[in-house]
Homo-oligomer: A and B are copies of this chain.
């Protein structure tokens, strides 16, 4: 058996309660006593039993991190910085453990993992990535989160819109300015002279899809001159994988409606778009411009380098970690919106017409 707290207590000549106190801090313990206990812990190689502690305290050091898929760099980067920020360096820092759950973006899986984490008495939960905006799921999710938060475990929504919850619950929201980013990206394309701009949007019903598409269309509408009219014909919904971008682009080409630029749901999809266009003999950006979203690390190394919108994933992960551990107080109103930034690279250029007739 492993060394127990009681053995440490015996070894140090104090009561279990005292050992518990020096372990958990926040309680007055005489200097000498503390030292003796610490030495006992050290010499016995004591490691606290997490489950026992969690059972007694009704909360654990586990932090649930729900992502659509860690293999996707978007989530990998987010989860990575989150995990890192959860483990503050320095001696005796109360190390939180990140329990990473792939929801695949499926509502039922999301709920199932939340139940599982509740069962583990997770000390906090971070839900990342776009939310499925279906009334039934939203209310089920809201109810479940309300329970978790009411039990004292902070919940952070990261990269998704806030939920209608009582203000007193420990729930915070960290959003990305997807709308603004998409808006500025569309403006960039319009400024280059593009008028027929296609969208390979994300899955319908997802908050991220809605926000990016809204920002995009708002810019087109604002530009006027009927630029927004062809939206329906030039929009294809697809998944977030490269293959989805490839297939959606083929579908777009099949439709036959002309376009000179494509705004993809994200960078990964954009690589699929580029591949499909190229396979169709279309040059980028000479014939058609392509833009991504997120600014994943590979964006600068693709051919051509991808124009995109930077989403501050690392910052978001760190912030989410601080909020969920209570190291940073909940922001007033509970919502923080992180800025996005347009990154112009080689995959966008003026449309063919503009070049031939300057």
Contact = CB atoms under 8 A, between A and B. Distances in A.
Contacts of A275: 300-301
Contacts of A62: 62, 99, 120
Interface string A62-84: 10010001111101110111011
Contact of A55 (B2, B49, B98, B118): B49
Contacts of A65: 100
> For the complex formed by this chain, how many copies does it contain in all?
2
A102 B84 contact: yes
Interface residues of A, number: 56
Contacts of A48: 119
A204 interface: no
B71 A81 contact: yes
B304 A47 contact: no
A118 B47 contact: yes
A345 interface: no
Interface in A74-125: 75-77, 79-81, 83-84, 87, 95, 97-102, 112, 115-121
B81 A77 contact: no
Contacts of A304: 303
Nearest to A65: B100
Contact of A73 (B54, B73, B84, B102): B73
Nearest to A59: B51
A213 B297 CA distance: 26
Given A47-B118, A55-B55, A70-B76, A242 B297 contact: yes
Which 5 pairs between the two chains have the least Cβ-Cβ distance? A303-B303, A71-B80, A76-B76, A51-B54, A50-B120
